[in-house]
Every structure is written in structure tokens, then in C-alpha cells.
């Protein structure tokens, strides 16, 4: 299930034992819209094994700043609250899935 994180829900998600994939995006961002269907499919495919969520950088600028997000889309994988992998720019569904798979 795809989650839409705000500051409070983000903290709860990354505190768990499952890896977390976060898609930092904006509604006006073309490449963000291009990868959105892949992110939704990945969320369904990894349901129960990982947490997949999105952070709208316009609505949650503090989260974007905390992770140094300067370009979007930025994809970050966290394990136990620590960044273990990061990618900037549009990626294929396979590439994004592999990012998460490496940390299960």
C-alpha cells in the first residue's frame, strides 16, 4: 500500500523494522509523474515486506531539507531510520525495485 507521508507519519514508518522507500516528488514535476505508476506498483508488490511512501516537497519542505533533497524525484531507501541508498532522477520500475530488494 502506497503511503503519503507527513512529518508525523514519516517518523512512525521509519522507526519500524521494514525498509522504507521514500519518493520525494512534487505534483508539477514531469519526471515525478512519469515514475508515479511504477512507485504504486512497487508499493503493491512489496506490501508486507517493505513500506513505500511519497513526500510532496511543497507540502513537507522540512522533510526534504532534512534529507538534502535538491532535485526531484529523489528516491531514498531507509533501514531503521538510516539512509542506505539514494537515487536522483527518474528510474525504471526494475531499478527502483532493485533498490528496495537489496535491503530486505
Give the catalytic positions in this structure.
29, 32
CB-based contact 1:40 (threshold 8 Å):
no
Inter-CA distances, 91 with 31, 71, 94, Å: 9, 14, 8
CB-based contact 56:9 (threshold 8 Å):
no
CB-based contact 29:75 (threshold 8 Å):
no
Residue 37: cis peptide before it, omega within 30 degrees of 0: no
Amino acid at each position: 500500500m502506497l503511503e503519503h507521508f507527513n512529518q508525523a507519519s514519516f517518523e512512525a514508518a521509519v522507526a519500524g523494522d521494514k525498509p522504507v522507500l521514500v519518493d520525494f516528488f512534487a505534483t508539477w514535476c514531469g519526471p515525478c509523474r512519469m515514475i508515479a505508476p511504477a512507485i504504486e506498483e512497487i508499493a503493491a508488490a512489496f506490501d508486507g515486506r517493505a513500506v513505500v511512501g511519497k513526500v510532496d516537497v511543497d507540502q513537507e519542505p522540512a522533510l526534504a531539507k532534512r534529507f538534502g533533497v535538491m532535485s526531484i524525484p529523489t528516491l531514498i531507501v531507509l533501514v531503521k531510520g538510516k539512509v542506505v541508498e539514494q537515487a536522483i532522477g527518474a528510474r525504471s520500475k526494475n531499478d527502483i525495485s532493485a533498490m528496495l530488494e537489496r535491503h530486505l
